[in-house]
Amino acid sequence: MTTELLSKSALQNSEPVFGQMSFDDHEQVVFCNDKDTGLKAIIGIHSTVLGPALGGTRMWQYNNEWEALNDVLRLSRGMTFKAAVTGLNLGGGKAVIIGDAKTQKTPELMKRFGEFIHSLGGKYYTAEDVGMETADMDLIREVTPFVTGISESKGGAGNPSPATAYGVFMGLKAACQFNFGTDSLEGKSVLVQGIGHVGEVLVDHLSQAGARIIIDDINIERLEYISRTYGCSVFEGEDVYSADVDIYAPCALGATINDETIDRLKAKVIAGAANNQLANEDKHGKLLLEKGIVYAPDFLINAGGIINVFAELEGYDKAEIKTKTENIFNTTLEILQHAKINNISSHNAALEIARKRIDQRLRSQKL
C-alpha cells in the first residue's frame, strides 16, 4: 500500500523518522504497541495549525514497518493540504495499523487503538480508511470521543465514501469542462480503476451522466457485480494504463502515475479518488503538464469524505455537506485555470493555495 518504496541505499542513509524521505516537518509521530491484542500502529500528526489533525486509519498488511511509516507520513501530510485547500479548519493526521484487516482485526484491538487515540487528548481525530468500516469507528467511540465516521444511528455522519465519490464526480466534471469545454459526460469514455466503496458510487454517477464506463479491479466478483448492476464493460486488455479512454479515474491505490506508466497514458483527463496518485509529486505533476494531460489534484477532489466527517464535528446537515462537496467543482476549475496562467502543474497550484492558507493562520497566531 506504500506509494513510494525506499531503496536500500535510502534506507541505509536515512534516520528512522526525522531523516525519512517522507518526513516533512511532522509535528508528532506516535508508535502504538500492545502485546495482548497484537496491535502495532503508527499515528502521524503532520500539522495542527488550522485545527485538530483529522484523518482516517488504514489497516494493511505492509511488507515491513518502513513501508507503514512511509505511508503514514505521506498520507498525514496529504490530509493537511486537503483540509487547507478545502477551507476546513482542520489539521492533517493519519494512522496505520499493521496487519490483515480480514484476519487480525478484533474488537479488543480496535478499542486498544482507541485508547491510544484518546491519550492524545483531541490532537488527532480518526475516521475510516482502507480496511476499516463504520462498525470499527463505533467500537473506537466506546473508548474515546476523538473519532468520526461513526454510524448515523449513533449520531454520526456514517460512511464517508458516497460524499467522497460525489466530490470526485464534481472534480472530474470540472476537469472535463476545462479540457473539453463542456462538463457533459455523455458518450465520454471513463476507465474506473478500483470499484470499491468509492469506485462503485462514482460508477453510479457516471452512468447516470451517460458516460461509457470501463472498470478494472483485482476482485473478479466485484467486477462481475458492478458490470451487471450498472451495465458497464470490464477492461480486457493487457495494459490498463494504455487504455484508449478520454478519462482515467484511479480509485484503487496510490502512485499509479509513475515512471513506468506515465508515457503509456492515453487519457486526456485524470480524476480519481485514490490518495497520492503521483508517485513523485513534482516530477510527475510537471510531466503531466508537459504531456497536456489535465490532472485534477487527488487531495482536492477526494475531499468529500473529510467534509462529511467534519460535518459530524460541526453538526452540519446533509444539505450543507452536499453544497460544500459540490463546491469542489468550482475550486477545481479555479485551480486548473490558475495552473494554466502560471504554467505550473495543477498539483503545485493546489498546494500553493493550501500553503498560503496555513501560512496566513500561522502569521495571525504569532500576532
Please give the residue ranges that form the binding site for ligand NAD (CB under 6 A).
129-130, 160-161, 164, 193-199, 216-219, 222, 251-254, 273-275, 302, 305
Catalytic residue among 8, 35, 82, 94: 94
We find the least distance from the C-beta atom of residue 127 to ligand NAD, in angstroms, to be: 8
- Residue 271 has which C-alpha cell? 480524476
We find the least distance from the C-beta atom of residue 86 to ligand NAD, in angstroms, to be: 12
We find the least distance from the C-beta atom of residue 36 to ligand NAD, in angstroms, to be: 28
SS3 31: strand
Length of the chain measured in residues:
367
Q: Which is nearer to ligand NAD, 52 or 250 (CB)?
A: 250
Q: Which is nearer to ligand NAD, 171 or 194 (CB)?
A: 194
Contact between 292 and 270 under an 8 Å Cβ cutoff? The reply is: no
Q: How far is CA 250 from CA 213, 267, 295, in A?
A: 13, 12, 11
For residue 82, indicate whether it is catalytic: no
Q: Which is nearer to ligand NAD, 180 or 235 (CB)?
A: 235
We find the least distance from the C-beta atom of residue 253 to ligand NAD, in angstroms, to be: 5
CA distance 307 to 244: 33
Print burial letters for 32-67: b (CB count within 10 Å at least 16), e (below 16).
beeeebebbbbbbbbbbbbbbbbbbbbbbebeeebb
We find the least distance from the C-beta atom of residue 195 to ligand NAD, in angstroms, to be: 5
SS3 47: strand
**Beta bridge pairs of residue 128:** 57
CA distance 223 to 242: 19
Contacts of 366 (CB under 8 A, 6+ apart): none
Q: Which is nearer to ligand NAD, 69 or 289 (CB)?
A: 69
Q: Which is nearer to ligand NAD, 91 or 305 (CB)?
A: 305
Active-site residues, by number, are 94
